[in-house]
A and B are shown apart, each in its own frame.
Chain A
Amino acid sequence: MARITAGVGCSHVPAIGVAMDTNITEQDYWKPVFNGFEFSRQWMKDNKPDVVFLVYNDHCTVFDASCIPTFALGCAAEFPPADEGWGPRPVPVVKNHQKMASHIAQSLVLDEFDITIMNEMEVDHGLTVPMSVMFGDHGVDDEWPCPVIPLAVNVVQYPAPLGRRCYNLGKAVRRAIESYGEDLNVVIFGTGGMSHQLQAERAGLINSDWDKRFLDLLTEDPVAASEITHLEYLRETGSEGIEMVMWHVMRGALNDDVREVHRHYHVPASNTAVGHIILENI
């Protein structure tokens, strides 16, 4: 039986990908951002997943305004990096574990989560930046260390799914994975956040105290964390801070009791507070 052993929370700021792609990670501006991922890259080697289940959002790259699925599960054989206007990121094509993805698609719908099934999909920085920070530099001709099952969540058009809904979806993802026959180690990623606002006159908003409380609550009281209202995200963490609902999918898929083995928090990366956490099931 497949099992989820750990969860990773991680921001997916596009500028972090640009910094890696242009080899400027040693600059004073970027060093503190990347220092916090050194532990994580070693941890990924020591706890090498057979499959990553990665929750992220598309940033009006692949999904235009004509179709806005709340939850879209990647079931294609592979997912090429998308051109977001500056050419595709020079990173490997993401390969799926297609058999497990199909199993999860079926299991989720029967579990009353009516997801959209994507049989062709490109992926933007929302997915590739977490891969890069967690697995380190990989060029176009390399392969990522393991297959990835992507779950795209709408957090662009308000309202995003509620935190509670995301948390419960995480539980359904866990049931799906645990009912898959093969003995595989799965690590689940929840990405996006933390506090940031990219738009209008309040752009640049950061709320570090709130972010740190969120990380505490996520580890210690995930149900309470999942009850945070949309209005609180918008007001306290900026209009784009609502991406944090995606972390609840990750947390819902883990045990109630987890061990926080790593945490990293830094301001800024471009317009955004970078948050990162690794939680192991106890």
Chain B
Amino acid sequence: MAKEYDDIPGTFVFDADRSREGYWLNQFCITLRKEECRQAMRDDPEAYLAKFAMSDEQRQAVRDRDWNLLLELGGNIYYTAKLAAFDGINFQELAALMTGVSREEYRDMMLNGGRSIEGNRFKSEWEIK
């Protein structure tokens, strides 16, 4: 069923469907807020990942650190940010990775007022580009 927010570009709205699909992925990510879990993930990532009933695709996206795919597969940014923090990546660096620009470019864009709303409301505006 089409959703009214489906036409917003570059955005995955974390709704009940994504929440259902991403449940174990997100539950995995949130454990990384605890040092003992971070240690277990460092010691044996495959064994640690195996504890969570994620899909193979989700598990592969975790291995690949494919940040946008993780969102598409039901991850929520506040959860995936904990995986990023595990790698020593903060929110702004993570945003740069997801938008495909360098840290410096992203930081400069924010200092210049951020990404403009103009041209970024509808998917159709991105298709023209």
Q: Specify which of A65, A68, A156, A204 is in contact with B109 (CB 8 Å cutoff).
A: A204
Q: Is A25 in contact with chain B by the CB < 8 A criterion?
A: no
Q: Is the CB of B19 within 8 A of A65?
A: yes
Q: Which residue of B lies closest to A68 (CB)?
A: B19
Q: Which residue of A lies closest to B92 (CB)?
A: A270
Q: Specify which of A84, A210, A236 is in contact with B33 (CB 8 Å cutoff).
A: A84
Contacts of B110 in A (CB 8 A): 204, 206, 267-268, 270-271
Q: Is the CB of B91 within 8 A of A197?
A: no
Given the known interface contacts A64-B30, A207-B117, the answer about A202 and B11 at a Cβ–Cβ threshold of 8 Å is: yes
Kindly supply a per-residue 1/0 record for chain A positions 130-164, scoring 1 wherever the CB is within 8 Å of any chain B CB and 0 otherwise: 00000000000000000000000000111100000
User: Majority SS of interface residues in chain A?
Assistant: loop
Closest CB in chain B relative to A206 CB, distance in Å? 3
Q: Is the CB of B91 within 8 A of A205?
A: no
Contacts of A209 in B (CB 8 A): 117
Which of B1-9, B39-47, B56-64 makes up part of the contact surface?
B1-9
Q: Is the CB of A235 within 8 A of B30?
A: no
Q: Is the CB of A85 within 8 A of B82?
A: yes
Given the known interface contacts A157-B15, A203-B98, A204-B114, the answer about A85 and B32 at a Cβ–Cβ threshold of 8 Å is: yes
Q: Is B48 in contact with chain A by the CB < 8 A criterion?
A: no
Q: Is the CB of B27 within 8 A of A200?
A: no
* Chain B residues bordering chain A, tally (CB within 8 A): 48
For residues 230 through 248 of chain A, which have their beta carbon under 8 Å from a beta carbon of chain B? 231, 234-236, 238-240
Kindly supply a per-residue 1/0 record for chain A positions 8-38, scoring 1 wherever the CB is within 8 Å of any chain B CB and 0 otherwise: 0000001100000000000000000000000
* Chain A residues bordering chain B, tally (CB within 8 A): 44
Q: Is A183 in contact with chain B by the CB < 8 A criterion?
A: no
Q: Which residue of B lies closest to A231 (CB)?
A: B4
Q: Is A60 in contact with chain B by the CB < 8 A criterion?
A: yes
Contacts of B19 in A (CB 8 A): 65, 68, 157
Q: Is the CB of A65 within 8 A of B26?
A: yes
Bound form: Cα–Cα A59–B33 in Å? 12
Q: Is the CB of A199 within 8 A of B98?
A: yes
Q: Specify which of A159, A201, A231, A238 is in contact with B98 (CB 8 Å cutoff).
A: A201
Q: Which residue of A lies closest to B22 (CB)?
A: A65
Kindly supply a per-residue 1/0 record for chain B positions 10-21, scoring 1 wherever the CB is within 8 Å of any chain A CB and 0 otherwise: 111111100100
Q: A64-B26, A205-B117, A268-B113 are in contact. List 18 more A-B contacts (CB 8 A).
A: A59-B78, A65-B22, A65-B26, A65-B30, A198-B81, A198-B91, A201-B10, A201-B99, A202-B10, A205-B115, A205-B120, A206-B115, A231-B5, A238-B11, A239-B14, A267-B113, A268-B110, A273-B114
Which B residues are within 8 Å of any A CB, using their own CB?
4-5, 8-16, 19, 22-23, 26-27, 30, 32-34, 68, 71, 76-79, 81-82, 85-86, 91-92, 94-95, 98-100, 106, 109-111, 113-117, 120-121
- 6 closest A-B pairs (Cβ-Cβ)? A206-B114, A201-B10, A202-B10, A60-B78, A199-B77, A203-B95
